[in-house]
Amino acid sequence: MVGPLRPQFVLFGSSIVQFSYSNQGWGAILADLYARKADVVLRGYSGWNSRRALQVLDQVFPKDAAVQPSLVIVYFGGNDSMHPHPSGLGPHVPLPEYVENMKKIAVHLKGLSEQTRVIFLSAPPINEAQIRETLSGRLGTLSRTNECCGIYSEACLELCKEVGVKAIDLWTAIQQRDDWLNVCFTDGIHLSSEGSKVVVKEILKVLEEAEWEPNLHWKSMPCEFDDDSPNNPVSPVGKTTLRVADINLHREIEWD
């Protein structure tokens, strides 16, 4: 560990999480927004389903850890929604089991501490034609449909209501863009920079509206070592220095 100790935000999920630092992904955007405010920790496992996540839950989130995360963002569902393989192998998880797995994950995470907040991301849509074009040669036939993603997405939203967890409907949010099929994916499944922007927008909306104490929206959190100093850059008037920690000098998007 290095100090000072910051709030910890953990991203836990399958490839949508593991790849979230690539291609100007949503994990990288969050890490940038929360620089000097929270440590964004990646726990993404490409190809995983809710069944595998449940098997390692105690190892990734031990209840006796000295420090517990302030926020956990969870995504599983897309791989679960794939059609079952005749061999019995593969990531498919029947819908009732998926729901129970995700409920158990939610209960475990909520029990880590009184200050641990949880957000679930539902399964995003997919571009079936793009998948056939880009992935079939590398991964074989991928038996997944946008319709099944929608079914698992809706199940995720419903179970979150039952267990009292904030949920983001990615399946609907991404498809609200008229051009979503053309710009939101790198391969039909995984998110492009445009797809990731939708994810970040929805996460920030939840964090801004949630009645959590302390507030976890990036603009509400204190910035580390933000005290005024004569060593800061000098202002244009030449008589004072600038507190540059929260000045946007590099982002192309002004995030709310």
Q: Give 98-132 pLDDT, tens digit per residue.
A: 999 999 999 999 999 999 999 999 999 999 999 98
Pairing of strands 8-13, 166-168: unpaired
Backbone φ and ψ for 121, nearest 5 degrees, come out as -100, 130
> Is residue 190 pLDDT above 90, yes or no?
yes
Q: What is the 3-state secondary structure (H, E, C) of the chain?
A: CCCCCCCEEEEEECHHHHCCCCCCCHHHHHHHHCCCCCEEEEEECCCCCHHHHHHCHHHHCCCCCCCCCCEEEEECCCCCCCCCCCCCCCCCCCHHHHHHHHHHHHHHHHCCCCCCEEEEECCCCCCHHHHHHHCHHHHCCCCCCHHHHHHHHHHHHHHHHHHCCEEECHHHHHHCCCCHHHHCECCCCCECHHHHHHHHHHHHHHHHHCCCCCCCCCCCCCCCCCCCCCCCCECCCCCCECCCCCCCCCCCCCCC
> Is residue 1 pLDDT above 80, yes or no?
no
* Two tokens, residue 185: 């994916």
Range with the lowest mean pLDDT among 117-126, 211-220, 245-254? 245-254
Active site residue 108: no
Which one of the listed residues 14, 15, 50, 196 is annotated catalytic? 14
- pLDDT tier at 227 (50, 70, 90 boundaries)? confident
- Residues 75-98 have pLDDT tens digits of 999 999 999 999 999 999 999 999
Q: Whole-angstrom Cα distance, residue 220 to residue 215?
A: 6
Q: What pTM does this model have?
A: 0.95
Which one of the listed residues 81, 122, 169, 190 is annotated catalytic? 190
Range with the lowest mean pLDDT among 67-71, 139-143, 171-175, 195-199? 139-143
Q: What is the pLDDT of residue 140?
A: 58
Range with the lowest mean pLDDT among 9-13, 56-60, 99-103, 133-137? 133-137
- pLDDT tier at 206 (50, 70, 90 boundaries)? very high
Active site residue 190: yes
Q: Average pLDDT of the chain?
A: 94
Backbone φ and ψ for 120, nearest 5 degrees, come out as -100, 140
Residue 47 near residue 105, CB atoms below 8 Å: no
Which one of the listed residues 39, 108, 187, 193 is annotated catalytic? 187
- Residues 23-65 have pLDDT tens digits of 999 999 999 999 999 999 999 999 999 999 999 999 999 999 9
- How many C-alpha atoms does 194 have within 13 Å on its Cβ side? 14
- pLDDT tier at 142 (50, 70, 90 boundaries)? low
Range with the lowest mean pLDDT among 119-128, 216-225, 234-243? 234-243
Q: What are the distances in angstroms from CA 195 to CA 16, 42, 68?
A: 11, 19, 30
Active site residue 14: yes
Q: Whole-angstrom Cα distance, residue 205 to residue 247?
A: 21
